[in-house]
A and B are shown apart, each in its own frame.
Chain A
Amino acid sequence: MEVKEREAYQAVIGLEFHAHIATRTKMFCGCRVSYGDPPNTHTCPVCLGHPGALPVANERAVELGVMAGLAMGCEVAPRAVFARKNYFYPDLPKGYQISQYEEPICTGGHIDVPTSSGTVRVRIRRLHLEEDTAKNVHVGTSGRMHGSTASLIDFNRSGTPLMEIVTEPDIPSAEAARETALRLRDILRAVGASEADMEKGQLRCEANVSIRNPDGSLGTRTELKNINSFRFMERAIERELRRQREIVASGGTVRQTTIHYDPEDDEVYETRSKEYAEDYRYFPEPDLLPLQLSEEWVEGLRARLPELPEAMRARFIEQYGLSEEAAGVLTAERELAAYYEEVASQVDPRQAANWISGDLRALLNESGLSISECKILPGHMAELIGLVQSGDLSRSAAKEVLERSFETGERPQEIVEREGLGTVGGDELSGIVERVISSNPEEARRVREGDRKVVGFLIGQVMRETRGNADGGKVREILMEKLGS
Chain B
Amino acid sequence: MLELSAFELAGKIASGEVSAREAAEAASERVEAAEPEVHAMITPTPELALERAGRVDERRARGEELAPWEGVPIAVKDVLSTRGVRTTCGSRILENFEPVYEATALARLGEPVVVGKANMDEFAMGSSTENSAFGPTRNPWDLSRVPGGSSGGSAAAVAAGEGWWALGTDTGGSVRQPAALCGIVGLKPTYGRVSRYGLIAFASSLDQIGPMTRDVRDAALLLSAIAGHDPRDSTSASAEVPDYLAELDRGVEGLRVGIISEMMGEGIEPGVREVVERAARSLEEAGAEVGEAHLPHQEYALAAYYIIAPAEVSSNLARFDGVRYGMRVEAEGVHEMFRRTRGRGFGDEAKRRIMLGTYALSSGYYEAYYAQAQKVRTRIIEDFRAAFSRFDVLLSPTSPTVAFGLGEKVEDPLAMYAQDICSIPANLAGIPAISVPGGLSEGLPVGVQLMGNHFAEATLLRAARTVEEASGFRFEMRP
Contacts and interface: CB of A to CB of B under 8 A. Distances in A.
B5 interface: no
B234 A287 contact: yes
A49 B319 contact: yes
Interface in A148-184: 151, 153
Interface string B155-192: 00000000000000000000000000000000000000
A281 B354 CA distance: 13
Contact of B81 (A52, A57, A289): A52
Given A52-B201, A279-B362, A95 B232 contact: no
A51 B323 contact: no
Contact of B314 (A94, A281, A287): A281
A53 B83 CA distance: 13
Contacts of B361: 86, 281-283
B306 to A, nearest CB: 16
Contact of A289 (B201, B235, B311, B320): B235
Contacts of B231: 56
A277 B364 CA distance: 12
Contact of B103 (A49, A52, A88, A281): A52
A54 B197 contact: yes
Contacts of A53: 101, 197-198
A95 B100 contact: no
B218 interface: no
B196 interface: yes
B318 interface: yes
A102 B440 CA distance: 51
Contact of A94 (B87, B312, B318, B325): B318
Interface in B186-208: 196-201, 203-205
A90 B319 CA distance: 10
A148 to B, nearest CB: 11
Contacts of A409: none
A283 B205 CA distance: 12
B335 interface: yes
Given A95-B318, A281-B314, A51 B89 contact: yes
A151 B334 contact: yes
Contacts of A245: none
A192 interface: no
A391 interface: no
A48 interface: yes
A441 to B, nearest CB: 89
A54 B314 contact: no
Contacts of A45: 99-101
Given A45-B100, A45-B101, A287 B235 contact: yes
Given A52-B201, A54-B196, A86 B235 contact: no
B363 A281 contact: yes
Contacts of B201: 51-52, 287
A286 B413 CA distance: 26
B198 A52 contact: yes
Given A88-B335, A93-B319, A286-B204, A48 B324 contact: yes
B370 interface: yes
Interface in B305-338: 311-312, 314-315, 317-321, 323-325, 334-335, 338
- Could you say which of A51, A56, A96, A286 has the most chain B C-beta atoms within 10 Å of its C-beta? A51
B94 interface: yes
B133 to A, nearest CB: 15
Contact of A88 (B87, B198, B318, B363): B318
Nearest to B101: A45
Nearest to B363: A279
B353 to A, nearest CB: 14
B233 interface: yes
A84 interface: yes
A201 to B, nearest CB: 22
A288 B334 contact: no
A288 B196 CA distance: 12
A287 B204 contact: yes
A153 B325 CA distance: 13
B282 interface: no
Contacts, number: 103
Contacts of B319: 49, 51, 93-95
Given A52-B103, A54-B197, A283-B311, A88 B97 contact: no
Contact of B234 (A51, A54, A90, A94): A54
Interface SS of chain B: helix, strand, loop or mixed? loop
B441 interface: no
A50 interface: yes
Nearest to B359: A281
A54 B205 CA distance: 12
Contact of A51 (B99, B235, B312, B335): B99
Interface in B76-99: 80-81, 87, 89, 94, 97, 99
Given A52-B198, A56-B234, A286 B323 contact: no
B471 interface: no
A151 B323 CA distance: 11
A108 interface: no
A90 B325 contact: no
Contacts of A286: 203-205, 235, 312
A230 to B, nearest CB: 33
A95 B232 CA distance: 21
Given A49-B324, A96-B318, A283-B370, A90 B334 contact: yes
A55 B80 CA distance: 17
B234 A288 contact: yes
Nearest to B311: A283
Contacts of A282: 361
A84 B315 contact: yes
A52 B199 contact: yes
Nearest to A95: B318
A54 B232 contact: yes
Contacts of A289: 234-235
B358 interface: yes
Nearest to B234: A56
B338 A86 contact: no
A54 B236 CA distance: 11
Interface string B231-264: 1111100000000000000000000000000000
Contacts of A55: 234
Contacts of B314: 86, 281
B207 to A, nearest CB: 9
B325 A281 contact: no
A86 B197 CA distance: 21
Contacts of B101: 45, 50, 53
Q: Which of B101, B318, B363 has the most CB of A within 10 A?
A: B318
A86 B318 contact: yes
A281 B310 CA distance: 13
Nearest to A51: B200
Nearest to A57: B234
Given A52-B103, A52-B197, A90-B334, A288 B235 contact: yes
Q: Which 4 A-B pairs have the closest CB atoms?
A: A95-B318, A286-B205, A286-B204, A281-B361
7 contacts: A49-B324, A88-B335, A88-B338, A281-B366, A282-B361, A283-B311, A289-B234
Interface of A: 45, 48-57, 84, 86, 88, 90, 93-96, 151, 153, 277, 279, 281-283, 286-289
